Structure 1
Amino acid sequence: MRRRLSAGTIAGVGIATAILTLVFLVNSRATSELVFVTDVVVPLLFSALLVGASYWALSDRSADAAMVRLALWCLVGRRCSRW
């Protein structure tokens, strides 16, 4: 149960990051390629990484406590990001 909850949390953070990035993309105009890369491409890659990490969390044989710790780190990392 803890493993599924942790994987769901990680995937949720990844999906939320992707949605917020796409909303930002629709509502703003990138002034340069660098702004586009830092404000759109990097967060989308981070989102894909989190969704992949959630799949790994479900399939890995590590202790459930390690998966909970991974989910907490993802939440803290998301909180420290710009949105």
Structure 2
Amino acid sequence: MKLADYLDTTRTSQSAFAERLGVSQGLVHQWLTGKRPISAEKCPEIEKLTGGAVTCEELNDKVDWPYIRASGFRSAA
């Protein structure tokens, strides 16, 4: 699921999501509009925060997530 779809489905505002994630609402807006990519460091946090509904693979396709996961990364989803 895309992050924008998750926010719409759960009726979560950009501001509320940003606060839970510890980033600015402006940054979340930039992610959603494609003006700024989601960093690899934030992807696991977002996956955890969304209960696995939005995965790292969907957030940032520039990272070899299967390798990262095989190396011991664990989502709390």
TM-score, shorter chain, exceeding 0.5? no
Larger Rg: 1
TM-score of the aligned structures, taking structure 1 as reference length: 0.30
The structure where helix makes up a greater share of residues is: 1
